[in-house]
Structure formats: structure tokens, C-alpha cells
Structure 1
Amino acid sequence: MVFLRRMLAVAALASSLSLSAQMLSRPGWAGSGMSSDPWWQHAVIYEIYPRSFQDSNGDGIGDLKGITQRLDYLQSLGVDAIWLTPIYPSPQVDFGYDISDYTAIDPQYGTMEDFDNLVQEASRRNIRVLMDLVLNHTSDKHAWFVESASSKDNPKRDWYVWRDGKGAGTDGKPAPPNNWQSLFGHSAWQYDEKTGQFYYHCFYPQQPDLNWRNAQVKQAMFDAARFWLNRGVAGFRLDAIDTLLEDPTLADAKESSGTNAFGDPNVDKSQQMGLPEIHGILRELRSVINNAPGQRLLVGEIYTKSAAELASWYGAKNDELQLPMNTGVGFTNKLDVTAFREKLEAAQTQLHGNAPLLVFDNHDNPRSWDRYGDGQHNKEIARVLATILLTSRSASLLYYGQELGMVTATPERKEDVKDPIGILGWPKEKGRDGERTPMQWDGGAEAGFSKAAKTWLPIPTSSMAVNVEAEQKDDQSLLKWYEQLIALRRSRRAMREGQQILLNHDADNALVWVRKHQGVTATSPAVVVACNFSDKPVTLHLKSDITKLGLRGQFLRSLMRSDYGMGPMNLDGVKLEPYGVYIGEIHY
């Protein structure tokens, strides 16, 4: 029986990998036809925080079987891929971003068989699976670090960044090698009593940084990537990729006045982030990806000050990241039409023709509903943001619950905080629990997420009204708006492949652009998208702007309207209600 079970498991895995390989080799899905572009170029990627998506076994924590149970929902939404935040074995100090084994599944999320089944079932629905790959650091419980910390002459000592202290501190204890700080508060150096040296950690002390100048480290991490590629994953989202190397001179950082949320001096972190040598590592990793069959993808977590800076992460020969995250647009954090126009224009003109990956929400920041909402027009503003995200020339990244209008449920008491950042930085820094609360599937006691009496994070009371079940029944819900936008980008060639040309009409109040593809015809027209950023009605006169683009047109045939009207619009009389949206095809 044991042999038979093993044979059946091997057969199931082979079937899964065959199905996944077939899908990974297909070009981009375009709804009404297949695009010749790579699948990821116009993709809608959906971030899942596994602890919070669906609990299948009643322990209050989401798991892989739960995600598999909800694939039909994701298919109906229209996503092309899901990105799973870390599901590897971990002490869970940073909820999975402290990894103790890169080639296994944490038992709280399930088994490798559960993972293989998820990949297979997702593939049947034309959904690809991306893994989160944390290259910068491991857990301090990883076997590599345990060996490294065992003695100064251990073969794996140089797999991490160990240094002698710099004399004695004011308290008589050894002083760290320099004044660098962890991004999560306090010194970036942890003293090890046993060996009398410090190790470097850009994040928590339980997350020691790997030494990427050691060729063995590089080989081991690339082998981990190959392990998952061979199991059928479509690629990786690379966590904190710009922290991969640090300045080898270890010179002290410049300090500026004031203190941060953790009470530390403000120091310049340019010696800890964004070093040019990182690009060489990314080119090597891209070669690993390219050597796998099918179209595999590298997404990078990048926070840059400009689109021109972001452009470098694609690589001089487009041989690094295919989709570095463009957070400059979605994290403007102010509904400022001028700022949005400038940032969208930069994304179209300063990335050397590469597709931007727009993102408004993720597991590390308060939800966009709260960052942009004014407390009165939040739903209308959320529709505007969704429209920018899904009708721009870009790939798009959604965060679970964003499509519902989930809110940030920040803990009100320190004793309720689970995120170590919030515990350390309270009350100035309250952590990231608020944007990680369970998915809201229905209006029941535990929102359809779990049958447990208590979930790992509490269910917000907003779930009684804001949930999948309720919004699927409401044709004017935010969820329906997202579904329609995603369907529109699949069904209209202009929305899928066209240029994005921003117009300046009524520049103080409205953001307007045209999606125009080669070979515009009466049966495949260009599309106008208009968003009102003000709380007052706006009328747009677009005829002359459209004519200057070489487009013939007299009126717009409505595709989507936030006022839910159905009639056409005259090009010189496009009316938008406060925070209204209009999308229409140009006809003559």
C-alpha cells in the first residue's frame, strides 16, 4: 500500500507538472484571443497572504488547501497569476519572511502534496503561481546559520556577514562595527557571545543577512529557485531585492537630526541598499529563470524615488527583472491629479518601453481605501484608483480584499499587536497587522474565513457589509467594478496593447488618457478613460485633443460609467460626477 500511494503521488505530480508546463509555455491570455506578448506583460497578479486568505482546517490560520478552495473566485475575478507570500518552514518571527528551509512547506500551511495540487488546480483555471523568494536573509534557525554561528572556522562562517566590534561601547560591552541601523529598528548588528563577533541583519536580529559575495551562497539560493521552477511555479517575487549587498568598507553612515519611529537617530541607508553590484546577481538569476521551459517571471520589490531610477532594475539589456514594482504611482498617498499625471507619464516615457507593474496595496502598507479616502467618498475614490490600476498600459498587482474595499484594521492596544515592528515601535509605529486581517468572504461571525472561534488576527466589523457574498449580489459594488475592468482589459485590444497617451484637459481636476493601438479601426477603436479627482462635477471637451492624435471621432460609445448610465457621450461634453469615471470607445 505504501508503494502504491507513492506511485499515485508521483503520477499526480507528473500530471501537475505537465499541465503547468503547458500553461507556462503559452503566450499571454487575452480573453477574446491570444496575444503574442509574454503572458506577464499585461497580467493581473493577485497577492495572497496565505495566513489570511482561507482556513480549511479550523485552526484560525489560512492554508494552501484554503487557497485551492477559493480558486474559482479568483478565476471569476479574472486574475492571471497569484503571488503567495512565504509558505516555507519558519519560526514565524516575521510571519514567514524568516525562512529556515527553502525547499519545503511549513506544516501550518499544509504539505508539498497540497502545494502541488494548488499549482495543478490553478493551472486548470489558467492561473499561474508565483512564489515569494527571500534572497537577502534566512532565519537564524536555518541550518546554514546554525553552522555559521557554531565557530569562527566553520565552513559556513562566510555564508553570513560576521565582523569584529569597534572597541567598547559606553556600557562596557563591545560596540557594533558601525552605526548602521536595521530597517525594523535599532542597530543592524547583533553580538554573538559564543564567537565574540557581530553578524549583520538589515531586518530583525532573527534574520541574519546572507553574504552574497560568497559564490557558494549564490549557488545554494539559485538551486532553491530551480527546485520550485521544477515544481511548476511561474516565477518569483523577490523580497527586498535592493538590500542584497552592503558596502564592504562598513564605513559609518551619515546622521541627520531627529529620531525615527523607533527612537533611533536618522541615518542614511545608501550603504545598505541599492548597491550597483546587485544588478550582476539579478542577471545571473534571470539566466536561471530563462533556462527553465516556458515564460517564467521575476517580480522585484523595489521602492525608488523616480521612474528613471526604476528603469535600471529592468537591466541595460532587459536582462534583469521583467517587472520591478512601480510603487511611485500607487503610493503617491494623496489624490493629487498633477502628481498622478506626472508619475503615469514617467512610467510611459522613462522605462525604455518596458511594461510598468503598478501597485496600490500590499502586505506592508495601510490599505489604499484609507490612504486615499476622505471619509465621505471612499468608494468613489476606490473606483478611480481601480481604474488607474487596471486601464493603464501596465501589468497590475492586486492585494487580496482590495477589490472589496477592505479597510486597515489597526490594533488599538499594544497588547493586541502581533507584528514585532508594532510591538517595538508602539505607539508611533503600530505595525502591519491592520492590512493583514482575514479575507472577508461573507457577513458571518468569522467572515467565511474560518470555523475557528478565534482567528490569528481579528475579523473587522466592516466584514458584515464588505464581503464577497454581498458584493457579488450588488451590480454596483466595488467588486463588480473590478471584475468589469479586468474583463475590459482582456476584451479590448486598445486596453490590452495600446499606448497610453495622457491629455491635459481640465488639468486641475481630471486625469484623462487615450489607449490607442496600431491599426485602429471602426471595429477596433481607441478608448478614452477619464477620472474626476474632485468633489465637483466636471465637463470635458476632448474633440480637439482627439483630432490632434490623428483619431477620427464624434462621440464615445460607453463601456463603463461610474454613474451606470448606458448612453453615448459627445466628445465635447463628457460629464463626470464628483470622483466619477468614464470609459468609452471613440466612434464617428
Structure 2
Amino acid sequence: MGVCLAAGPGLAQQASPQGSKAEHTLQKTEDPWWKHAVIYEIYPRSFQDSNGDGVGDINGITSRLDYLRDLGIDAIWISPMYPSPLVDFGYDVSDYTAIDPLYGTLSDFDRLVGEGKKRNIRVIMDFVPNHTSDQHPWFKESRSSRASPKRDWYIWRNGKGSEQPPNNWQSWFGHSAWQLDPATNQYYYHHFYTEQPDLNWRNPEVRKAMYDAMRFWFKRGAAGFRLDAVSRLFEDPNLHDDPILPGKNAYGDPNILHKYTDNLPEVHEVLREMRRVAEEFPGDPVLISEADEPNIAELTKMYGSKNDEIQLPMDFQIADVNKLSAPDFRKLLNEIDRNTAGGQPHYFFSNHDQPRQWDRYGDGVHNDQIAKLMAALLLTTRATPLMYYGEEIGMRTTDPVRKEDVQDPIGKIGWPQEKGRDGERTPMQWDASKNSGFSTAERPWLPVPASSAEYSVRAESQDPGSILSFYKRLLALRRSEPALRNGKYLALDQDNQYVLSFLRQTPGNGDSILVVLNMSAEPRIVRFVLDAHGVREKSVRPLISVPTIGPESTVLTHFTVPAFGVFIGSVH
């Protein structure tokens, strides 16, 4: 396995000794740990299988902690591992205070947290507050009778006339968001799949039960939660129809504006309550929100009017820029940097619901270099960066070629126009062995992409020019340069259509970091006059340049950046 760390009782002894080159510690500062952390999303089914059943698991994650430490990761966010019928691969929860046997046990989780702590890697849980599985005991009791004590834990309504839903609200996955339950002849509301009924967050008993579930994991050492679909927690109690928009959606339904089912004001009351729960525990627990806000103003509200809600709202604005565009990225970086809440930005370019960035931004020729460019953008701004497993080795989106191979329900419903999200969830590519080192099973839950022959941790660890080697250099630089950790962000050359440039400037007399990213297929000349920013030198000292730029090319007043080039340098 090479980089694989054997799971078992002796794992703790394999940590690097104190003071080794690989060691990175969480310095005690006045800033909370999450402000400077690099967070790494793990899709547990696909990271490492430890028992040969073809599905990744908790012990598999534990066996790879040394790899994550050596890469430079400070925290891992793990997609849901709760017991689940797996209609939506864990986002349909049937028990909020247990581990699905497919992934392991609570003891396995405790061991993961403990071994992570030895390596200064925190564990962030995925929490699904909007809905449960229809197999959750709460819902089973709720649907049993109109008089059930838990009837009001979910949203039940009478239909309109003969078998017509209460209104025109639509599910995220197409068609009506209302499902008739024959047992009581009422409809229940589900923003997502039919098997994912929405909880009624206006019920105090629901809130208490969910907050107690959060406390359960905090007590076991969770460092925080990524909160799934939080903007959908509330719906209009008067059931007004959503406005109809022109055209039809991918499922053949009329387009609608989700005016009465998304971002209702009551959401912020719940977020404040969740924050208070988190603050009951030591260690600066973090709350991360998944809320695809339509603009920066709405995103800013997630921090709370008194910075008392979400510490790290995921910025879908910047993640939804699907092309290399210096003006588009610059505009969004400037907007979020000036957010009125003064909150910490949180950027990402890949996750389990989006095509991988190697394909999304690549031009088919320079994809590896563009992958390095996107890494530099993610890891040099003042945001807390969120990586997705495998992006550091250039994993690509590998969609199923046959309907019978599809695992994701979205792909099964929408095939062939919609192939689902399997392509970005394929197994991690570790080495050249069977199933790329992910599993010893005859057939893993998703096929290992053919690209694993060239793009794997083992192969790239031996290549100083690889994407993985670039990530390691960049993450090490981020840890060692105060300006990249604490410096303010200053946009430069703001009319440039091709090159994104900015300065990370430390207070006082420390060095500043100049970041220059050429987002075009041609070399570009840039000119910087930085006197107004306290920079006295006329040249810049290269720290990282890919492709390499010679010393003669680093005069600030006449600076050539190669096609898709990354230049990071120090100025004083």
C-alpha cells in the first residue's frame, strides 16, 4: 500500500514523532482553529474499504490519517454515516445517534476521533436537520394515526378535492413535494425524495430532539457539523402556491420560484439556537452551512446579525463559477471579502454533488496545470478552504455508461439526460494494485476510473511535478507564511480580463504575499506598482511558480506569467 497505514491497535504508534517534518500543530492563538484550518471532505463509501465488502468505512478512514496529516489537512468533514435505508446514500437518516453498520460502530468512530486528535486532525460530522428517512421511528409513529403524539413532528395537510396535493410546491427532484399517505388519507411534505419527509421545525419537541442529537456527537468529540440544506427548514404555514416561471424543468414540470419553501426568516432563529448548543462545548466547535444562497447579501445573513449563527457558510456563489474567468472570480472575492458581517469566507470548488474541478475547469489539454491553478486560488485567499477527497491527485468525473450501472437515485430518475452524481463519487485512487488500493472486493460499489493508472497517490508521490506534489508544497507554504494565514486580501490589477492578482498583506513590517493566476491559454504581461500598499521593493522573490518563472521575469513593473501559470511570491 505504501502510504496506507494499517488499521489496528498499533496504529497510534505509527504517528510521526514530535518535531518531525510532517508534523503540523494547531497553534493556540486568539483566532478559532477553523479560521486557519484546511478542511477535507470525505465521502465515506469511497475513501477506503477496510473489510473487503466494496464500500468504504470508518476504519478505512482511520487507516489513512497519516496520509491526511502529511498532506497538511487540519479537519475532515465526513458525509453522513448514520443508519439509513440509503435512498439518498445517508442523507435519509433513520437514527441520529448511531453509526450505520455498513461503516462500522460507535467504537470505530471514537477511535477515529482519538487517532485524529493525535495527528491534530479534527472530525466534523454531517448533520441532516431538514428531514429524516421515512423509516425513522419518529416518522413511523407520526404516520400511524392522525392522533399520534408525533403527528406534528412532520408536516401533514389535507389535499385539495379528490387526490390533489395541497398546493403546487415541488420536490427538488421533480414533481409534487406532497405525498399522499393512504393510512390516514393526508399528504406529508418532502422537499427532497418521497422517502425523506420534512421535519416540522415549528414544533419545540423536534428542536429539542435534534439539539440533543448534536450534543450526543459533541460529547463524543465531534469538532462541529456541516448542516445540510438548512435554508429549507421552514415552509409557509399558509401554503401559498409558489410563483410559476417560464419553461419547464429537467423533470418536465413547470419551473417555479421556491418562494415559500426556502430561506424563510425563521431559519435564523434555529441557527442561533444551534450555535448556542455548539457553544456549550469547549474547543471552538464549528458550524458549516450548506445553503445555496442566490447572492452575497443572502449568504452574509447566515453569519447572523451579531455573528451568532454560522461561522462558515459554504459559498456556492464562487463554486458555481463554471469557467476560468478572472473577472467573475475577482468580483465574488471582492464581494465576500467586504461582507457586512465581517465573517470568515468558506470556499470550495468540488464536492459530492458537483462534477470534479479537473473536468469542470479543464480545457482538455492543460487540465493538470489548470488543476494546480484552481488549487492556488482555493488555498491562497483568506477563506477557510474546503477540499474534496481526490482533488489533490486530479481525480476526474467518471459518469456511468449504462443505466444499470447507476447508483445515484437522481441518475436513475433522470437517465439519460441526467446521469446523477456517481461520477464525482468514485473510489479514491491510492496505488496501482487491485481497485487502486481502495478495496480487495471483486467489485467495489462504484468502478475505479481507468485514470487511476496514471493519477494515484503512489504514482504522484514519486513525481515532483504532479498535482499531489503541488498541493503539498502549497499547503506547506500556507502553514509557514503568516501573510497566507492572517494577511488581509487586497485585489490588484482589477481591470485585467485574463489574470487574477491579489496581495495578502500582514500588519506591520512583515512580508506580503503576491498571488498571480493567469486564467488564459496565452502568456500575459502584468505590471504592479505597490508603493501605496507599503511595498518598497521593485521585484518579487518567487516562492512557488508553475510553470517556473526565471528570476529575470520577476520585476514588478514588467511581469510575464505563462499560460495558466501560477506565481506566488514574497514582497517587502
Partners of 1:33 and 1:425 in 2: CA distance: 48
Residue 34 of structure 1: CA displacement? 4.5
Residue pair 1:355, 1:394 contacting (<8 A) in 2 also:
yes
Residues 25-64 of structure 1: matches in 2 within 5 Å? 34-64=28-58
Residues 465-504 of structure 1: matches in 2 within 5 Å? 465-504=454-493
Please name the residue that 2:504 is paired with: 515
Partners of 1:153 and 1:324 in 2: CA distance: 39
Partners of 1:32 and 1:219 in 2: CA distance: 33
One-letter code of the match for 1:558? P
Q: Does 1:547 align with 2:531?
A: yes
Please name the residue that 1:570 is paired with: 555
Residue pair 1:505, 1:540 contacting (<8 A) in 2 also:
no
Residue pair 2:141, 2:151 contacting (<8 A) in 1 also:
yes
Residue 308 of structure 1: CA displacement? 1.9
Please name the residue that 1:182 is paired with: 171
Please name the residue that 1:362 is paired with: 351
One-letter code of the match for 1:337? A
Q: Does 1:286 align with 2:271?
A: no
Residue pair 1:444, 1:464 contacting (<8 A) in 2 also:
no
Partners of 1:105 and 1:32 in 2: CA distance: 28
SS in 2 for 1:73: helix
Please name the residue that 2:16 is paired with: none
Partners of 1:154 and 1:34 in 2: CA distance: 51
Q: Deviations over 1:398-433 (max 9, x none)?
A: 000011111001112222111111111112221110
Q: Deviations over 1:14-52 (max 9, x none)?
A: xx9xxxxxxxxxxxx986954321100121100000000
Q: Superposition RMSD on alpha carbons, in Å?
A: 1.5
Residue 482 of structure 1: CA displacement? 1.1
Partners of 1:297 and 1:452 in 2: CA distance: 36
Residue 305 of structure 1: CA displacement? 2.2
Please name the residue that 1:79 is paired with: 73
Question: Which stretch has the larger CA shift, 350-359 or 30-39?
Answer: 30-39
Residue 338 of structure 1: CA displacement? 0.7
Q: Does 1:432 align with 2:426?
A: no
Greater than 6 Å deviation, 4+ residue runs: none
Question: Which stretch has the larger CA shift, 216-225 or 366-375?
Answer: 366-375
Partners of 1:479 and 1:53 in 2: CA distance: 16
Aligned length: 551
Question: Which stretch has the larger CA shift, 186-195 or 260-269?
Answer: 260-269
SS in 2 for 1:437: coil
Q: Identify which of 367, 371, 391 aligns with 1:382.
A: 371
SS in 1 for 2:336: helix
Residue 82 of structure 1: CA displacement? 0.2
Residue pair 1:262, 1:429 contacting (<8 A) in 2 also:
no
Residue pair 2:190, 2:198 contacting (<8 A) in 1 also:
yes
Please name the residue that 1:232 is paired with: 221
Identity of aligned residues (%): 53
SS in 1 for 2:437: coil
Q: Deviations over 1:223-278 (max 9, x none)?
A: 00000000010010000110111111111112123211112111111211110110
One-letter code of the match for 1:573? H
Q: Which runs of 5+ in 1 are unaligned?
A: 1-11, 17-28, 169-173
Partners of 1:407 and 1:428 in 2: CA distance: 20
Residue pair 1:89, 1:100 contacting (<8 A) in 2 also:
yes
Residue 443 of structure 1: CA displacement? 2.3
SS in 2 for 1:284: helix
One-letter code of the match for 1:412? V
Partners of 1:164 and 1:267 in 2: CA distance: 22
SS in 1 for 2:317: helix
One-letter code of the match for 2:161? G
One-letter code of the match for 1:157? R
Normalised to the residue count of structure 2, the TM-score between the two structures is 0.94
Residues 326-345 of structure 1: matches in 2 within 5 Å? 326-345=315-334
SS in 1 for 2:435: coil
Please name the residue that 1:69 is paired with: 63
Please name the residue that 1:308 is paired with: 297
Residue pair 1:513, 1:529 contacting (<8 A) in 2 also:
yes
Q: Deviations over 1:168-213 (max 9, x none)?
A: 2xxxxx1110111100111101110010000000000000000000
Residue 538 of structure 1: CA displacement? 1.2
One-letter code of the match for 1:101? D
Residue 505 of structure 1: CA displacement? 5.9
Q: Deviations over 1:486-533 (max 9, x none)?
A: 11111111110001101126602110000001112xxx3011000001
Residue pair 2:305, 2:341 contacting (<8 A) in 1 also:
no
SS in 2 for 1:178: coil
Q: Identify which of 425, 437, 444 aligns with 1:448.
A: 437
Residue 560 of structure 1: CA displacement? 0.3
Residue pair 1:310, 1:351 contacting (<8 A) in 2 also:
no
Q: Which runs of 5+ in 2 are unaligned?
A: 1-8, 13-22
Q: Identify which of 481, 504, 528 aligns with 2:514.
A: 528
Please name the residue that 1:558 is paired with: 542
Residue 351 of structure 1: CA displacement? 4.5
Partners of 2:511 and 2:36 in 1: CA distance: 19
Partners of 2:349 and 2:540 in 1: CA distance: 29
Partners of 1:469 and 1:572 in 2: CA distance: 41
SS in 2 for 1:403: helix
Residue 353 of structure 1: CA displacement? 2.2
Partners of 2:562 and 2:434 in 1: CA distance: 37
Partners of 2:246 and 2:215 in 1: CA distance: 46
SS in 2 for 1:447: helix
Residue 575 of structure 1: CA displacement? 2.0
Please name the residue that 1:160 is paired with: 154
